[in-house]
C-alpha cells in the first residue's frame, strides 16, 4: 500500500514538473501554442510562389511585311516577290500572384501580420500543341524565317500582358492572395488572428 501511494505521489510530482517546465520555457502555456516569426515564415515558405489566378486564352495573331522598296529617282518602287504574311492561332496560360519569398511576418502572441508584394505575372506559357498556321505566305526574295515566328510570339505576349494589367486582373489576384494566405494560416491554427497587407511601393 505504501509503495502504491509512493508511486502515485511520484507521478503527481512528475506531471507537475512537466507543467512547470512548459510554462517556464514559453512553448506551451495553458494549452496554447506559442508561435515565433520563424515558424510562421517557414509555414508560408510552403507557398513560395502563390499562383492565385490563372488566365487561359486563345489568340489570333498576324505578321504582315509589305514589299520592300527601292529608291528610283524621286520615287519609291516596290520590289516584287518581297512581301510576306503569317497568320496563326494559339492558346496560352498566364499565372499571377505574389512572390511569397519576398513576404515578411510579424508575430505578437496569436496575432500574425503578413506583408506581401503586389501580384505580378509569375509565368506566361504558350501551348505549342495548340498552334495552327492559317496563312504562311513567303516572298520569293523575302521568305518567312523562324525569327519571324519568334518575333510574333514575343510581340503577342506583350500585348496579352498589357491587357491583363489594363483590365485589373492583377488587382483581382491581390484580393485572392489576401484571402488565401489568411485562410491558409487560420487552417494551420484557428486561434491565430491573421492580417495580410501589401508592401508599400
**Domain parsing of the chain, residue ranges:** 1-34, 35-198
Kindly tell me the burial class for residue 124, based on how many C-beta atoms sit within 10 Å of its own C-beta (0-12, 13-18, 19 or more): middle
CA-based torsion, 121, 123, 129, 135: positive or negative = positive
170 vs 118: CA distance, rounded Å? 8
What pLDDT sits at residue 9?
Answer: 30
123 vs 51: CA distance, rounded Å? 9
pTM for the structure as a whole: 0.69
Q: What tens digit of pLDDT does each residue of 41-100 get?
A: 777 766 656 778 999 999 999 887 654 444 444 555 455 445 788 899 999 999 999 988
Name residues whose C-beta falls within 8 Å of residue 163's C-beta, 6 or more positions apart in sequence. Answer: none
What pLDDT sits at residue 48?
Answer: 59
Q: What tens digit of pLDDT does each residue of 146-197 get?
A: 888 899 999 999 999 999 999 999 999 999 999 999 988 888 888 899 999 9
Kindly tell me the burial class for residue 140, based on how many C-beta atoms sit within 10 Å of its own C-beta (0-12, 13-18, 19 or more): exposed
Kindly tell me the burial class for residue 114, based on how many C-beta atoms sit within 10 Å of its own C-beta (0-12, 13-18, 19 or more): buried
Amino acid at each position: 500500500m505504501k509503495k502504491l501511494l509512493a508511486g502515485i505521489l511520484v507521478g503527481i510530482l512528475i506531471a507537475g514538473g512537466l507543467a512547470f517546465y512548459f510554462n517556464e520555457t514559453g512553448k506551451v502555456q495553458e494549452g496554447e501554442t506559442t508561435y515565433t516569426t520563424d515558424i510562421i515564415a517557414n509555414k508560408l515558405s510552403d507557398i513560395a510562389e502563390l499562383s492565385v489566378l490563372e488566365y487561359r486564352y486563345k489568340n489570333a495573331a498576324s505578321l504582315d511585311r509589305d514589299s520592300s522598296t527601292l529608291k528610283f529617282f524621286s520615287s519609291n518602287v516596290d520590289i516584287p516577290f518581297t512581301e510576306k504574311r503569317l497568320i496563326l492561332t494559339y492558346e496560352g496560360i498566364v499565372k499571377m500572384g505574389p512572390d511569397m519569398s519576398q513576404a515578411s511576418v510579424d508575430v505578437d502572441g496569436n496575432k500574425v501580420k503578413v506583408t506581401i508584394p503586389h501580384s505580378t505575372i509569375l509565368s506566361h506559357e504558350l501551348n505549342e500543341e495548340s498552334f495552327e498556321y492559317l496563312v504562311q505566305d513567303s516572298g520569293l526574295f523575302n521568305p518567312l524565317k523562324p525569327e519571324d515566328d519568334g518575333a510574333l510570339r514575343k510581340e503577342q505576349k506583350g500585348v496579352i500582358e498589357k491587357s491583363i494589367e489594363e483590365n485589373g486582373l492583377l488587382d483581382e489576384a491581390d484580393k485572392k492572395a489576401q484571402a488565401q494566405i489568411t485562410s491558409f494560416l487560420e487552417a494551420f491554427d484557428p486561434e491565430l488572428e491573421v492580417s495580410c497587407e501589401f508592401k508599400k511601393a
